[in-house]
Structure 1
Amino acid sequence: MKDIRNNDFNLILDQYKNMIHYHIHRMRIRDPHDEFLQEGIMALFLAWTGYDESKGDFNAYANRTIRFRLIDHLRKIIREQEKTDLIINEAHTKELIQQELDLLEKQEFWKRVKHTLTDKQWKWVYWYIIHGYAVKEIAVIERTTEDAVKNWGKEVKRKLRDSAFIQDCRK
Structure 2
Amino acid sequence: MENHKLIFEVVRNQNNCRVHYHIHKLNVKDLDQEIYQEGLVAMWNSYERCHPDNGIIATYFNYVVCNRIVDLKRKLKRTKKGIIV
Give me the whole-angstrom Cα distance separating, in 1, the residues matched to 2:30 and 2:77. Answer: 14
> In structure 2, what is the Cα distance between the partners aligned to 1:15 and 1:31?
21
Runs of 4 or more, structure 1, over 3 Å off, are none
The count of residues paired between Structure 1 and Structure 2 equals 82
Higher relative contact order (CA 8 A, sep 6+): 2
Instruction: Structure 2: state its 5+ residue gaps.
Output: none
Aligned to 1:11: 10
Counterpart in 2 of 1:71?
A: 70
- Are 1:43 and 2:42 matched, yes or no? yes
Whichever of the two has the greater Rg, that structure is 1
- Alignment match, 1:33: 32
Root-mean-square deviation over aligned CA pairs: 2.2
Find the aligned partners of 2:34 and 2:42 in 1 and give their Cα distance: 12
Identity %: 26
Matches of 2:80 and 2:10 in 1, distance apart?
A: 36
Aligned counterparts of 2:52 and 2:7: Cα–Cα separation in 1: 17
Alpha-carbon deviation of 1:72?
0.7
Counterpart-to-counterpart distance in 1, 2:6 and 2:62 = 18
- Give the counterpart letter for 2:27 in structure 1: R
TM-score (norm 2): 0.85
3-state SS of the aligned residue for 2:69? helix
Between 31-40 and 6-15, the greater mean CA deviation after superposition? 6-15
1:129 alignment partner in structure 2? none
Counterparts of 2:52 and 2:5 in 1: how far apart (Å)?
Answer: 12
* 2:39 aligned counterpart, secondary structure: helix
Q: Which residue of 1 aligns with 2:59?
A: 60
Normalising by structure 1, report the TM-score.
Answer: 0.44
